Amino acid sequence: DAGVTQSPTHLIKTRGQQVTLRCSPISGHKSVSWYQQVLGQGPQFIFQYYEKEERGRGNFPDRFSARQFPNYSSELNVNALLLGDSALYLCASSPTGNQPQHFGDGTRLSIL
C-alpha cells in the first residue's frame, strides 16, 4: 500500500511569493496534519484536519493556511514568503484524529 505522498519534493521560491504544497494520505486515513521542520530542529505543528474540518492550529501566522478535500488529500498554502519559511514541510496522516501518525518524506522549501 502507498504511504503518505507529498509533492513537490523540492521547491525554490523568492521572498514575497506564494507556495502550495500537496499531500495525499494513506488510503482510508481521514486525518491529515502538517508540520514545519527547520534544519537541526524537531518538527513544529502547523495544522490538523479531520473529515475536512480544522481540528487544531499551531503558533503560526495567518500567512499559513490549509484545507482538506473530500478525498482527504490536503494542501498547505503559505503567502508572502519570508527567508525564515525555509524548511522541510511534513505531512502526516492517521485513520482518525487520535491514532499514531504516518509521515511522508516531506517537501523541502528553500526561499532565496
Partner 1 sequence: GDSVTQMEGPVTLSEEAFLTINCTYTATGYPSLFWYVQYPGEGLQLLLKATKADDKGSNKGFEATYRKETTSFHLEKGSVQVSDSAVYFCALIPSGGYNKLIFGAGTRLAVHP
Give contact residues for partner 1 (rule: CB under 8 A). 4, 31, 33, 35, 40-45, 48, 50, 55-56, 58, 90, 92, 94, 97-106
Nearer to partner 1 by Cβ, of 13 and 57: the residue is 57
Residue (of 75, 69, 67) closest to 23 by Cα position: 75
| 83 phi/psi in degrees, rounded to 5 | -55, -35
Nearer to partner 1 by Cβ, of 56 and 61: the residue is 56
CA distance 34 to 46: 5
Give me the least distance between CB of 16 and partner 1, in Å please: 28
User: Which residues, listed in sequence order, are joined to residue 63 by a DSSP beta bridge?
Assistant: none
Residue (of 43, 31, 55) closest to 107 by Cα position: 43
Give me the least distance between CB of 38 and partner 1, in Å please: 10
Nearer to partner 1 by Cβ, of 22 and 102: the residue is 102
Nearer to partner 1 by Cβ, of 19 and 50: the residue is 50
**22 CB contacts (<8 Å, ≥6 apart)?**
6, 7, 73, 74, 75
Give me the least distance between CB of 14 and partner 1, in Å please: 25
Cell numbers describing residue 49: 484536519
Give me the least distance between CB of 64 and partner 1, in Å please: 15
